[in-house]
Chain A
Protein backbone atom coordinates (compact mmCIF):
# COMPACT_ATOMS: atom_id res chain seq x y z
CA UNK A 1 0.00 0.00 0.00
CA UNK A 2 0.96 3.63 -0.45
CA UNK A 3 1.58 5.82 2.56
CA UNK A 4 0.98 9.55 2.29
CA UNK A 5 2.85 11.80 4.71
CA UNK A 6 2.01 15.51 4.90
CA UNK A 7 4.90 17.63 6.21
CA UNK A 8 5.01 21.28 7.22
CA UNK A 9 7.78 23.86 7.05
CA UNK A 10 7.85 25.72 10.35
CA UNK A 11 10.13 27.96 12.39
CA UNK A 12 12.78 25.71 13.93
CA UNK A 13 11.79 24.54 17.40
CA UNK A 14 14.91 26.04 18.98
CA UNK A 15 14.14 29.56 17.78
CA UNK A 16 12.55 31.87 20.29
CA UNK A 17 10.17 33.84 18.10
CA UNK A 18 9.54 37.55 18.51
CA UNK A 19 6.20 39.24 18.08
CA UNK A 20 6.24 42.09 15.52
CA UNK A 21 5.87 45.48 17.13
CA UNK A 22 2.85 46.36 14.98
CA UNK A 23 0.96 43.34 16.33
CA UNK A 24 0.34 41.77 12.92
CA UNK A 25 2.12 38.55 13.63
CA UNK A 26 5.36 36.86 14.51
CA UNK A 27 8.60 37.94 12.86
CA UNK A 28 9.72 34.97 10.79
CA UNK A 29 11.89 36.82 8.28
CA UNK A 30 15.45 35.45 8.41
CA UNK A 31 14.79 32.83 11.07
CA UNK A 32 15.78 29.23 10.66
CA UNK A 33 13.02 27.04 9.23
CA UNK A 34 12.83 23.25 9.56
CA UNK A 35 10.46 20.37 9.19
CA UNK A 36 7.88 20.28 11.96
CA UNK A 37 9.29 17.74 14.50
CA UNK A 38 6.11 15.65 14.60
CA UNK A 39 6.23 15.35 10.80
CA UNK A 40 9.76 13.98 10.94
CA UNK A 41 8.39 11.27 13.19
CA UNK A 42 5.61 10.66 10.66
CA UNK A 43 8.05 10.27 7.76
CA UNK A 44 10.26 8.02 9.84
CA UNK A 45 7.30 5.77 10.66
CA UNK A 46 6.27 5.58 7.01
CA UNK A 47 9.82 4.68 5.97
CA UNK A 48 9.98 2.00 8.68
CA UNK A 49 6.72 0.55 7.35
CA UNK A 50 8.32 0.41 3.92
CA UNK A 51 11.43 -1.26 5.32
CA UNK A 52 9.20 -3.87 6.96
CA UNK A 53 7.54 -4.52 3.62
CA UNK A 54 4.16 -3.17 4.75
CA UNK A 55 4.27 -0.03 2.61
CA UNK A 56 5.20 -0.06 -1.07
CA UNK A 57 5.63 3.65 -1.64
CA UNK A 58 5.99 6.68 0.62
CA UNK A 59 4.75 10.00 -0.74
CA UNK A 60 5.59 13.23 1.09
CA UNK A 61 3.27 16.20 0.63
CA UNK A 62 3.61 19.81 1.68
CA UNK A 63 1.32 22.79 1.20
CA UNK A 64 2.64 26.33 1.10
CA UNK A 65 5.31 28.52 -0.42
CA UNK A 66 8.00 27.45 -2.92
CA UNK A 67 10.55 26.99 -0.11
CA UNK A 68 8.54 24.02 1.18
CA UNK A 69 10.43 22.11 -1.51
CA UNK A 70 13.38 22.04 0.91
CA UNK A 71 11.19 20.36 3.51
CA UNK A 72 10.09 17.81 0.91
CA UNK A 73 13.72 17.15 -0.07
CA UNK A 74 14.45 16.44 3.59
CA UNK A 75 11.52 14.01 3.68
CA UNK A 76 12.93 12.26 0.62
CA UNK A 77 16.39 12.16 2.21
CA UNK A 78 14.82 10.34 5.17
CA UNK A 79 13.36 7.87 2.70
CA UNK A 80 10.20 9.12 0.99
CA UNK A 81 10.05 7.97 -2.64
CA UNK A 82 8.52 11.06 -4.19
CA UNK A 83 6.94 14.35 -3.22
CA UNK A 84 4.07 16.65 -4.07
CA UNK A 85 4.05 20.36 -3.32
CA UNK A 86 0.74 22.18 -3.30
CA UNK A 87 2.15 25.60 -3.99
CA UNK A 88 0.45 28.78 -2.81
CA UNK A 89 1.41 32.04 -1.16
CA UNK A 90 -1.96 32.25 0.58
CA UNK A 91 -2.30 31.82 4.33
CA UNK A 92 -3.30 28.21 4.86
CA UNK A 93 -5.39 27.17 7.83
CA UNK A 94 -5.92 23.55 8.90
CA UNK A 95 -9.34 23.21 7.23
CA UNK A 96 -7.89 24.34 3.88
CA UNK A 97 -4.91 22.00 4.23
CA UNK A 98 -7.25 19.13 5.13
CA UNK A 99 -9.26 19.82 1.96
CA UNK A 100 -6.10 19.88 -0.18
CA UNK A 101 -4.97 16.62 1.39
CA UNK A 102 -8.42 15.09 0.87
CA UNK A 103 -8.09 15.85 -2.86
CA UNK A 104 -4.68 14.14 -2.89
CA UNK A 105 -6.02 11.16 -0.96
CA UNK A 106 -8.73 10.78 -3.61
CA UNK A 107 -6.07 10.89 -6.31
CA UNK A 108 -3.36 8.73 -4.78
CA UNK A 109 -5.57 6.30 -2.80
CA UNK A 110 -3.06 5.67 0.03
CA UNK A 111 -3.69 2.88 2.53
CA UNK A 112 -2.45 5.04 5.35
CA UNK A 113 -1.96 8.77 5.88
CA UNK A 114 0.47 9.62 8.67
CA UNK A 115 0.62 13.21 9.95
CA UNK A 116 2.22 14.88 12.94
CA UNK A 117 -0.21 15.48 15.79
CA UNK A 118 0.35 19.23 15.69
CA UNK A 119 2.53 21.87 14.09
CA UNK A 120 4.66 23.80 16.55
CA UNK A 121 3.83 27.17 14.99
CA UNK A 122 0.03 27.39 15.08
CA UNK A 123 -0.24 24.64 17.74
CA UNK A 124 -3.62 23.68 16.26
CA UNK A 125 -3.70 19.87 16.41
CA UNK A 126 -6.52 19.69 13.83
CA UNK A 127 -5.38 18.75 10.32
CA UNK A 128 -5.26 14.96 10.73
CA UNK A 129 -8.68 14.78 12.35
CA UNK A 130 -10.16 17.11 9.71
CA UNK A 131 -8.68 15.07 6.88
CA UNK A 132 -10.08 11.88 8.40
CA UNK A 133 -13.52 13.49 8.65
CA UNK A 134 -13.51 14.85 5.08
CA UNK A 135 -12.22 11.61 3.57
CA UNK A 136 -14.60 9.50 5.69
CA UNK A 137 -11.71 7.58 7.24
CA UNK A 138 -11.13 6.37 10.81
CA UNK A 139 -8.45 8.15 12.81
CA UNK A 140 -5.78 7.11 15.29
CA UNK A 141 -4.49 10.31 16.85
CA UNK A 142 -1.49 10.83 19.18
CA UNK A 143 -0.01 7.47 18.20
CA UNK A 144 2.88 5.98 20.13
CA UNK A 145 2.70 2.62 18.33
CA UNK A 146 1.34 1.62 14.92
CA UNK A 147 0.88 -2.01 13.88
CA UNK A 148 -0.55 -2.93 10.51
CA UNK A 149 -2.04 -6.43 10.22
CA UNK A 150 -3.91 -7.30 7.03
CA UNK A 151 -6.70 -4.81 6.50
CA UNK A 152 -6.52 -3.17 9.92
CA UNK A 153 -4.13 -1.04 11.88
CA UNK A 154 -3.85 -1.13 15.66
CA UNK A 155 -2.87 2.25 17.04
CA UNK A 156 -1.69 2.76 20.60
CA UNK A 157 -2.69 6.29 21.58
CA UNK A 158 -1.34 8.55 24.29
CA UNK A 159 -4.34 9.83 26.22
CA UNK A 160 -4.75 11.69 29.50
CA UNK A 161 -3.96 9.22 32.25
CA UNK A 162 -2.33 6.54 30.13
CA UNK A 163 -2.61 4.67 26.86
CA UNK A 164 -5.42 3.22 24.79
CA UNK A 165 -5.52 1.00 21.74
CA UNK A 166 -7.94 1.44 18.84
CA UNK A 167 -8.24 -0.85 15.82
CA UNK A 168 -9.00 0.91 12.57
CA UNK A 169 -10.04 -0.42 9.19
CA UNK A 170 -7.66 0.61 6.41
CA UNK A 171 -7.43 3.09 4.82
CA UNK A 172 -6.95 5.20 7.93
CA UNK A 173 -5.39 8.41 9.21
CA UNK A 174 -2.77 8.32 11.97
CA UNK A 175 -1.21 11.29 13.77
CA UNK A 176 2.11 10.86 15.53
CA UNK A 177 3.04 11.62 19.10
CA UNK A 178 6.59 12.21 20.27
CA UNK A 179 7.29 8.71 21.42
CA UNK A 180 6.31 6.85 18.26
CA UNK A 181 9.92 6.67 17.11
CA UNK A 182 13.30 8.40 16.96
CA UNK A 183 13.73 9.94 13.47
CA UNK A 184 16.99 9.01 11.79
CA UNK A 185 19.59 11.57 10.79
CA UNK A 186 19.79 12.28 7.12
CA UNK A 187 23.13 11.37 5.60
CA UNK A 188 24.93 13.25 2.85
CA UNK A 189 24.58 10.46 0.25
CA UNK A 190 20.84 10.35 0.96
CA UNK A 191 20.57 14.13 0.59
CA UNK A 192 22.23 13.79 -2.82
CA UNK A 193 19.90 10.95 -3.81
CA UNK A 194 16.88 12.95 -2.66
CA UNK A 195 17.72 15.65 -5.19
CA UNK A 196 17.04 13.18 -7.99
CA UNK A 197 13.69 11.97 -6.67
CA UNK A 198 10.54 13.30 -8.39
CA UNK A 199 8.84 16.38 -6.96
CA UNK A 200 5.53 17.34 -8.50
CA UNK A 201 4.14 20.85 -8.06
CA UNK A 202 0.40 21.53 -8.19
CA UNK A 203 -1.78 24.53 -7.29
CA UNK A 204 -4.82 24.53 -5.00
CA UNK A 205 -6.95 25.43 -8.03
CA UNK A 206 -5.74 22.26 -9.82
CA UNK A 207 -7.21 20.31 -6.94
CA UNK A 208 -10.41 22.36 -6.98
CA UNK A 209 -9.96 23.60 -3.43
CA UNK A 210 -10.85 27.04 -2.12
CA UNK A 211 -8.26 27.92 0.53
CA UNK A 212 -9.80 31.18 1.77
CA UNK A 213 -9.09 31.51 5.52
CA UNK A 214 -12.11 31.26 7.80
CA UNK A 215 -10.38 32.75 10.81
CA UNK A 216 -9.13 36.30 10.85
CA UNK A 217 -6.17 37.11 13.06
CA UNK A 218 -6.93 40.53 14.50
CA UNK A 219 -3.69 40.90 16.41
CA UNK A 220 -0.75 39.02 17.86
CA UNK A 221 0.73 40.12 21.17
CA UNK A 222 3.52 39.18 23.52
CA UNK A 223 2.25 37.09 26.41
CA UNK A 224 2.24 38.92 29.74
CA UNK A 225 5.74 38.93 31.21
CA UNK A 226 6.36 37.40 34.60
CA UNK A 227 7.89 39.85 37.02
CA UNK A 228 11.46 39.01 37.87
CA UNK A 229 11.88 36.60 40.72
CA UNK A 230 14.57 36.35 43.33
CA UNK A 231 17.17 33.79 44.22
CA UNK A 232 17.08 32.49 47.75
CA UNK A 233 20.16 31.49 49.66
CA UNK A 234 19.05 28.19 51.12
CA UNK A 235 16.14 25.85 51.79
CA UNK A 236 15.15 27.62 55.00
CA UNK A 237 14.83 30.93 53.14
CA UNK A 238 12.78 29.22 50.44
CA UNK A 239 10.35 27.71 52.94
CA UNK A 240 10.04 31.08 54.67
CA UNK A 241 9.22 32.84 51.39
CA UNK A 242 6.66 30.22 50.38
CA UNK A 243 4.95 30.34 53.75
CA UNK A 244 5.03 34.02 54.55
CA UNK A 245 5.39 35.91 51.28
CA UNK A 246 3.68 33.78 48.64
CA UNK A 247 1.46 31.99 51.19
CA UNK A 248 1.13 28.94 48.96
CA UNK A 249 2.02 26.24 51.49
Chain B
Protein backbone atom coordinates (compact mmCIF):
# COMPACT_ATOMS: atom_id res chain seq x y z
CA UNK B 1 0.00 0.00 0.00
CA UNK B 2 1.59 3.23 -1.16
CA UNK B 3 0.20 6.74 -1.33
CA UNK B 4 1.01 9.28 -4.02
CA UNK B 5 0.91 12.95 -3.05
CA UNK B 6 0.66 15.48 -5.87
CA UNK B 7 2.89 18.34 -4.79
CA UNK B 8 1.77 21.91 -5.19
CA UNK B 9 4.76 24.03 -6.06
CA UNK B 10 5.89 27.06 -8.03
CA UNK B 11 8.66 25.12 -9.82
CA UNK B 12 11.24 26.46 -7.32
CA UNK B 13 9.81 25.56 -3.94
CA UNK B 14 7.13 23.35 -2.44
CA UNK B 15 4.00 25.10 -1.17
CA UNK B 16 3.06 24.67 2.46
CA UNK B 17 -0.22 22.86 1.75
CA UNK B 18 1.79 19.92 0.38
CA UNK B 19 3.30 19.33 3.83
CA UNK B 20 -0.10 18.89 5.48
CA UNK B 21 -1.14 16.56 2.67
CA UNK B 22 1.92 14.38 3.31
CA UNK B 23 0.89 14.01 6.96
CA UNK B 24 -2.55 12.84 5.80
CA UNK B 25 -0.91 10.42 3.34
CA UNK B 26 1.24 8.93 6.12
CA UNK B 27 -1.94 8.41 8.16
CA UNK B 28 -3.28 6.19 5.36
CA UNK B 29 -0.72 3.68 6.49
CA UNK B 30 1.88 2.99 3.82
CA UNK B 31 4.85 4.54 2.06
CA UNK B 32 4.47 8.03 0.68
CA UNK B 33 5.70 9.06 -2.74
CA UNK B 34 5.47 12.60 -4.08
CA UNK B 35 4.91 13.65 -7.69
CA UNK B 36 6.48 16.95 -8.70
CA UNK B 37 5.16 17.78 -12.17
CA UNK B 38 6.36 21.07 -13.57
CA UNK B 39 8.82 22.84 -15.79
CA UNK B 40 12.42 23.39 -14.69
CA UNK B 41 11.26 22.17 -11.33
CA UNK B 42 14.39 20.33 -10.20
CA UNK B 43 14.66 22.64 -7.18
CA UNK B 44 11.11 21.81 -6.13
CA UNK B 45 11.78 18.09 -6.58
CA UNK B 46 14.92 18.37 -4.46
CA UNK B 47 12.96 20.20 -1.78
CA UNK B 48 10.27 17.49 -1.84
CA UNK B 49 12.96 14.86 -1.26
CA UNK B 50 13.92 16.61 1.99
CA UNK B 51 10.43 16.34 3.51
CA UNK B 52 10.30 13.96 6.45
CA UNK B 53 8.31 10.80 5.70
CA UNK B 54 8.65 10.89 1.91
CA UNK B 55 10.31 7.76 0.49
CA UNK B 56 10.42 8.62 -3.21
CA UNK B 57 9.97 11.66 -5.41
CA UNK B 58 8.76 11.31 -8.99
CA UNK B 59 9.82 14.25 -11.10
CA UNK B 60 8.13 14.98 -14.43
CA UNK B 61 9.55 17.97 -16.27
CA UNK B 62 8.02 19.43 -19.40
CA UNK B 63 6.93 22.81 -20.75
CA UNK B 64 3.28 21.68 -20.88
CA UNK B 65 3.36 21.12 -17.11
CA UNK B 66 4.65 24.63 -16.32
CA UNK B 67 1.38 26.18 -15.21
CA UNK B 68 -0.54 23.30 -13.76
CA UNK B 69 -3.18 23.06 -16.51
CA UNK B 70 -5.71 20.48 -15.31
CA UNK B 71 -5.81 18.57 -18.60
CA UNK B 72 -2.05 18.00 -18.72
CA UNK B 73 -1.51 17.48 -15.01
CA UNK B 74 -4.32 14.92 -14.77
CA UNK B 75 -2.86 12.96 -17.68
CA UNK B 76 0.53 13.07 -15.99
CA UNK B 77 -0.87 11.80 -12.70
CA UNK B 78 -2.66 9.02 -14.53
CA UNK B 79 0.56 8.02 -16.27
CA UNK B 80 2.23 7.28 -12.94
CA UNK B 81 -0.82 6.31 -10.84
CA UNK B 82 -0.70 2.55 -11.44
CA UNK B 83 0.10 0.65 -8.28
CA UNK B 84 -0.86 3.36 -5.80
CA UNK B 85 -3.63 2.73 -3.30
CA UNK B 86 -4.15 6.41 -2.50
CA UNK B 87 -3.73 9.57 -4.55
CA UNK B 88 -3.84 12.75 -2.48
CA UNK B 89 -4.02 16.42 -3.39
CA UNK B 90 -4.13 19.42 -1.08
CA UNK B 91 -7.64 20.93 -1.06
CA UNK B 92 -6.39 24.18 -2.61
CA UNK B 93 -7.65 25.81 -5.80
CA UNK B 94 -5.03 23.84 -7.74
CA UNK B 95 -5.74 20.51 -6.05
CA UNK B 96 -9.52 20.83 -6.34
CA UNK B 97 -9.13 21.63 -10.02
CA UNK B 98 -7.22 18.49 -10.92
CA UNK B 99 -8.19 15.83 -8.39
CA UNK B 100 -11.75 15.06 -9.61
CA UNK B 101 -10.44 14.86 -13.16
CA UNK B 102 -7.97 12.19 -12.08
CA UNK B 103 -10.64 10.32 -10.12
CA UNK B 104 -13.06 10.26 -13.06
CA UNK B 105 -10.36 8.99 -15.41
CA UNK B 106 -9.63 6.20 -12.92
CA UNK B 107 -13.41 5.62 -12.63
CA UNK B 108 -13.37 6.08 -8.87
CA UNK B 109 -15.19 8.43 -6.53
CA UNK B 110 -13.27 11.31 -5.01
CA UNK B 111 -13.37 12.45 -1.39
CA UNK B 112 -13.22 16.21 -0.98
CA UNK B 113 -11.75 18.18 1.90
CA UNK B 114 -10.88 15.22 4.10
CA UNK B 115 -10.33 16.40 7.68
CA UNK B 116 -9.42 13.08 9.28
CA UNK B 117 -8.11 9.70 8.17
CA UNK B 118 -9.81 7.00 10.26
CA UNK B 119 -8.43 4.04 8.34
CA UNK B 120 -7.06 3.33 4.88
CA UNK B 121 -10.57 3.41 3.40
CA UNK B 122 -12.56 5.51 5.88
CA UNK B 123 -12.39 9.26 6.20
CA UNK B 124 -14.14 12.20 7.80
CA UNK B 125 -15.25 15.23 5.83
CA UNK B 126 -17.48 18.21 6.56
CA UNK B 127 -20.73 18.73 4.63
CA UNK B 128 -23.39 21.48 4.65
CA UNK B 129 -20.88 24.29 5.21
CA UNK B 130 -19.31 22.44 8.11
CA UNK B 131 -22.62 22.01 9.96
CA UNK B 132 -22.27 18.24 9.82
CA UNK B 133 -19.33 15.85 9.74
CA UNK B 134 -19.73 12.74 7.57
CA UNK B 135 -17.74 9.55 8.05
CA UNK B 136 -17.36 8.05 4.60
CA UNK B 137 -16.04 4.71 3.46
CA UNK B 138 -14.71 4.25 -0.06
CA UNK B 139 -15.40 1.00 -1.87
CA UNK B 140 -13.04 1.85 -4.74
CA UNK B 141 -9.67 0.20 -5.33
CA UNK B 142 -7.92 3.56 -5.46
CA UNK B 143 -8.79 6.33 -3.04
CA UNK B 144 -8.49 9.78 -4.54
CA UNK B 145 -8.77 12.56 -1.98
CA UNK B 146 -8.22 16.22 -1.41
CA UNK B 147 -6.94 17.05 2.04
CA UNK B 148 -8.15 20.00 4.09
CA UNK B 149 -4.83 21.42 5.18
CA UNK B 150 -6.10 22.82 8.47
CA UNK B 151 -7.10 19.29 9.50
CA UNK B 152 -3.52 17.99 9.53
CA UNK B 153 -0.20 19.21 10.92
CA UNK B 154 2.52 20.08 8.43
CA UNK B 155 5.20 17.44 7.88
CA UNK B 156 8.73 18.65 8.64
CA UNK B 157 10.20 20.23 5.51
CA UNK B 158 13.62 18.80 6.29
CA UNK B 159 15.02 15.56 7.68
CA UNK B 160 14.00 13.29 4.82
CA UNK B 161 16.29 11.88 2.17
CA UNK B 162 14.15 10.43 -0.59
CA UNK B 163 15.49 9.45 -3.99
CA UNK B 164 14.40 11.60 -6.92
CA UNK B 165 13.38 9.61 -9.97
CA UNK B 166 12.67 11.20 -13.33
CA UNK B 167 9.55 9.97 -15.04
CA UNK B 168 8.38 10.30 -18.64
CA UNK B 169 6.32 13.37 -19.42
CA UNK B 170 2.78 12.84 -20.71
CA UNK B 171 1.85 14.51 -24.00
CA UNK B 172 0.20 17.93 -24.16
CA UNK B 173 -3.60 17.66 -24.43
CA UNK B 174 -3.68 20.49 -26.96
CA UNK B 175 -7.10 21.48 -25.64
CA UNK B 176 -6.11 24.31 -23.34
CA UNK B 177 -3.48 27.01 -23.20
CA UNK B 178 -2.32 28.97 -20.21
CA UNK B 179 -2.94 32.68 -20.67
CA UNK B 180 -1.70 34.79 -17.81
CA UNK B 181 -1.67 35.04 -14.07
CA UNK B 182 -2.27 38.00 -11.87
CA UNK B 183 -1.09 37.30 -8.36
CA UNK B 184 -1.91 39.91 -5.75
CA UNK B 185 1.23 41.30 -4.18
CA UNK B 186 1.24 40.49 -0.53
CA UNK B 187 4.08 40.74 1.94
CA UNK B 188 1.94 39.41 4.75
CA UNK B 189 1.80 35.78 5.87
CA UNK B 190 -0.24 33.55 3.58
CA UNK B 191 -3.87 33.50 4.76
CA UNK B 192 -4.19 29.73 5.09
CA UNK B 193 -0.89 29.39 6.95
CA UNK B 194 -1.08 32.49 9.19
CA UNK B 195 -1.02 32.12 12.98
CA UNK B 196 -3.10 35.25 13.41
CA UNK B 197 -5.77 36.58 11.05
CA UNK B 198 -7.48 39.95 11.19
CA UNK B 199 -10.66 39.82 9.18
CA UNK B 200 -13.10 42.53 8.17
CA UNK B 201 -16.70 42.64 7.02
CA UNK B 202 -19.18 44.94 5.41
CA UNK B 203 -19.17 47.29 8.39
CA UNK B 204 -15.81 48.68 7.27
CA UNK B 205 -17.70 50.66 4.62
CA UNK B 206 -15.03 51.12 1.96
CA UNK B 207 -11.73 49.80 0.69
CA UNK B 208 -9.92 52.83 2.13
CA UNK B 209 -11.43 52.33 5.56
CA UNK B 210 -10.77 48.58 5.40
CA UNK B 211 -7.07 49.14 4.83
CA UNK B 212 -6.82 52.18 7.10
CA UNK B 213 -8.41 50.48 10.09
CA UNK B 214 -7.27 46.87 9.79
CA UNK B 215 -3.76 47.19 8.33
CA UNK B 216 -2.19 48.71 11.49
CA UNK B 217 -3.66 45.91 13.60
CA UNK B 218 -2.44 43.23 11.19
CA UNK B 219 1.01 44.88 11.10
CA UNK B 220 1.21 45.01 14.86
CA UNK B 221 0.30 41.32 15.21
CA UNK B 222 2.17 40.07 12.14
CA UNK B 223 -1.18 38.82 10.94
CA UNK B 224 -2.72 38.01 7.57
CA UNK B 225 -5.78 39.96 6.44
CA UNK B 226 -9.03 38.20 5.65
CA UNK B 227 -12.52 39.29 4.68
CA UNK B 228 -16.11 38.17 4.62
CA UNK B 229 -17.93 37.64 1.35
CA UNK B 230 -19.88 40.85 1.87
CA UNK B 231 -16.65 42.84 2.11
CA UNK B 232 -15.21 41.15 -0.98
CA UNK B 233 -18.37 41.59 -3.05
CA UNK B 234 -18.50 45.25 -2.09
CA UNK B 235 -14.94 45.64 -3.35
CA UNK B 236 -13.41 46.45 0.04
CA UNK B 237 -10.95 43.55 -0.19
CA UNK B 238 -9.61 41.29 -2.97
CA UNK B 239 -11.36 37.98 -3.79
CA UNK B 240 -8.63 35.75 -2.52
CA UNK B 241 -8.96 37.16 1.00
CA UNK B 242 -12.41 35.65 1.36
CA UNK B 243 -12.76 33.31 4.31
CA UNK B 244 -15.70 30.90 4.26
CA UNK B 245 -17.40 27.88 2.72
CA UNK B 246 -16.50 28.96 -0.78
CA UNK B 247 -13.36 30.91 0.03
CA UNK B 248 -10.39 29.93 2.15
CA UNK B 249 -10.70 27.59 5.12
CA UNK B 250 -8.47 28.80 7.94
CA UNK B 251 -7.68 27.66 11.46
CA UNK B 252 -5.22 30.13 12.98
CA UNK B 253 -4.30 30.49 16.65
CA UNK B 254 -6.16 33.78 16.77
CA UNK B 255 -8.93 35.02 14.48
CA UNK B 256 -10.13 38.58 14.98
CA UNK B 257 -13.45 39.25 13.23
CA UNK B 258 -14.13 42.98 12.89
CA UNK B 259 -17.56 44.08 11.75
CA UNK B 260 -18.50 40.57 10.58
CA UNK B 261 -22.00 39.37 11.49
CA UNK B 262 -21.09 35.69 11.24
CA UNK B 263 -23.25 34.07 8.55
CA UNK B 264 -23.02 30.26 8.46
CA UNK B 265 -21.06 30.45 5.22
CA UNK B 266 -18.40 32.58 6.92
CA UNK B 267 -18.29 30.49 10.09
CA UNK B 268 -17.63 27.42 7.90
CA UNK B 269 -14.27 28.92 7.03
CA UNK B 270 -12.98 29.90 10.45
CA UNK B 271 -14.75 28.12 13.30
CA UNK B 272 -11.82 25.75 13.88
CA UNK B 273 -9.62 28.70 14.89
CA UNK B 274 -8.16 28.25 18.36
CA UNK B 275 -9.26 31.58 19.74
CA UNK B 276 -11.91 33.74 18.08
CA UNK B 277 -12.37 37.40 18.93
CA UNK B 278 -15.38 39.31 17.67
CA UNK B 279 -15.61 43.07 17.58
CA UNK B 280 -19.10 44.14 16.58
CA UNK B 281 -21.53 46.79 17.69
CA UNK B 282 -24.56 44.55 17.16
CA UNK B 283 -25.03 42.55 20.37
CA UNK B 284 -27.21 40.05 18.50
CA UNK B 285 -24.66 39.25 15.76
CA UNK B 286 -24.29 35.45 15.39
CA UNK B 287 -20.49 35.80 15.45
CA UNK B 288 -20.75 36.22 19.25
CA UNK B 289 -22.03 32.65 19.53
CA UNK B 290 -18.68 31.25 18.38
CA UNK B 291 -16.38 33.95 19.77
CA UNK B 292 -14.25 33.17 22.80
CA UNK B 293 -14.00 36.87 23.51
CA UNK B 294 -16.61 39.28 22.28
CA UNK B 295 -16.30 43.03 22.41
CA UNK B 296 -19.50 44.92 21.76
CA UNK B 297 -18.17 48.17 20.39
CA UNK B 298 -17.80 50.33 17.31
CA UNK B 299 -14.84 48.89 15.45
CA UNK B 300 -13.74 52.33 14.25
CA UNK B 301 -12.87 53.26 17.82
CA UNK B 302 -12.12 49.80 19.24
CA UNK B 303 -9.60 48.68 16.61
CA UNK B 304 -7.36 51.78 16.79
CA UNK B 305 -7.55 51.54 20.58
CA UNK B 306 -6.53 47.90 20.36
CA UNK B 307 -3.58 48.82 18.14
CA UNK B 308 -2.33 51.44 20.57
CA UNK B 309 -2.61 49.13 23.56
CA UNK B 310 -0.61 46.30 22.00
Q: Which residues of A contact B (CB under 8 A)?
A: 11, 13, 16-17, 19, 26, 38, 93-95, 98, 117-118, 120-134, 137-139, 141-142, 144, 154, 157-169, 172, 177-179, 213-223, 226, 229-232, 234-236, 238-239, 241-242, 246, 248-249
Report how far A215 CA is from B108 CA in the complex, Å. Answer: 9
Given contacts A126-B112, A216-B136, contact A238 B96 (CB under 8 A): no
Interface size class of B (residues with CB under 8 A): 35 or more
Cβ of B122 and Cβ of A218 under 8 Å apart? yes
B212 is an interface residue with CB less than 8 A from chain A: no
Cβ of B104 and Cβ of A129 under 8 Å apart? yes
Given contacts A95-B103, A220-B134, A221-B132, contact A238 B264 (CB under 8 A): no
Q: Which residues of B contact A (CB under 8 A)?
A: 67, 69-71, 74, 92-94, 96-105, 107-113, 122, 126-140, 173-184, 186, 192, 196, 221, 229, 232-233, 238-240, 245-246, 248, 253-254, 264-265, 271, 274-277, 288, 290-297, 302, 305-306, 309-310
> Which residues on B sit within 8 Å (CB–CB) of A94?
100, 109-110
Given contacts A221-B132, A222-B133, A223-B133, contact A242 B176 (CB under 8 A): no
Cβ of B131 and Cβ of A17 under 8 Å apart? yes
Q: Is the interface of A mostly helix, strand, loop or mixed?
A: mixed
Report how far A17 CA is from B130 CA in the complex, Å. Answer: 10
Cβ of A239 and Cβ of B176 under 8 Å apart? no
Tell which of A13, A19, A133, A137 touches B100, judged by Cβ atoms closer than 8 Å. A133
Report how far A13 CA is from B229 CA in the complex, Å. Answer: 14
> Which residues on A sit within 8 Å (CB–CB) of B180?
164-165
**18 pairs, A vs B, C-beta closer than 8 Å:** A26-B127, A26-B132, A118-B246, A129-B96, A129-B101, A160-B92, A167-B176, A178-B229, A178-B246, A179-B232, A179-B239, A215-B111, A215-B136, A221-B133, A223-B130, A231-B296, A246-B275, A246-B292
Q: Is the interface of B mostly helix, strand, loop or mixed?
A: mixed
**6 tightest CB-CB pairs across the interface, nearest first?**
A165-B179, A129-B100, A214-B109, A130-B104, A126-B100, A133-B104
Tell which of A123, A129, A158 touches B126, judged by Cβ atoms closer than 8 Å. A123
Given contacts A94-B110, A167-B177, A179-B239, contact A223 B132 (CB under 8 A): yes
> Which residues on A sit within 8 Å (CB–CB) of B253?
248
Tell me, rounded to whole Å, the shortest Cβ–Cβ distance linking B177 to chain A.
Answer: 5
> Which residues on B sit within 8 Å (CB–CB) of A158?
93, 239-240
> Which residues on A sit within 8 Å (CB–CB) of B184?
161-162
> Which residues on A sit within 8 Å (CB–CB) of B103?
95, 126, 130
Q: How many A-B residue pairs have CB under 8 A?
A: 254
Cβ of B133 and Cβ of A220 under 8 Å apart? yes
Cβ of B127 and Cβ of A121 under 8 Å apart? yes
Cβ of A249 and Cβ of B112 under 8 Å apart? no
Cβ of B69 and Cβ of A95 under 8 Å apart? no
Cβ of A217 and Cβ of B135 under 8 Å apart? yes
Given contacts A17-B128, A169-B176, A248-B196, contact A215 B101 (CB under 8 A): no
Residue of B nearest to A95 (CB): B109
Tell which of B104, B113, B173, B182 touches A163, judged by Cβ atoms closer than 8 Å. B182
Tell me, rounded to whole Å, the shortest Cβ–Cβ distance linking B251 to chain A.
Answer: 12
Cβ of A124 and Cβ of B136 under 8 Å apart? no
Report how far A122 CA is from B127 CA in the complex, Å. Answer: 5
Report how far A217 CA is from B135 CA in the complex, Å. Answer: 6
Report how far A83 CA is from B175 CA in the complex, Å. Answer: 29
Cβ of A166 and Cβ of B110 under 8 Å apart? no
Cβ of B113 and Cβ of A238 under 8 Å apart? no
> Which residues on A sit within 8 Å (CB–CB) of B138?
214-216
Cβ of B100 and Cβ of A239 under 8 Å apart? no
Tell which of B132, B254, B295 touches A234, judged by Cβ atoms closer than 8 Å. B295
> Which residues on B sit within 8 Å (CB–CB) of A239?
306, 309-310
> Which residues on B sit within 8 Å (CB–CB) of A218?
122, 135-137
Tell me, rounded to whole Å, the shortest Cβ–Cβ distance linking A23 to chain B.
Answer: 9
Cβ of B132 and Cβ of A222 under 8 Å apart? yes
Tell me, rounded to whole Å, the shortest Cβ–Cβ distance linking B249 to chain A.
Answer: 10
Tell me, rounded to whole Å, the shortest Cβ–Cβ distance linking A131 to chain B.
Answer: 8
Tell me, rounded to whole Å, the shortest Cβ–Cβ distance linking A230 to chain B.
Answer: 6
Report how far A239 CA is from B310 CA in the complex, Å. Answer: 7
Tell me, rounded to whole Å, the shortest Cβ–Cβ distance linking A100 to chain B.
Answer: 13
Cβ of B139 and Cβ of A162 under 8 Å apart? no
Cβ of B271 and Cβ of A226 under 8 Å apart? yes
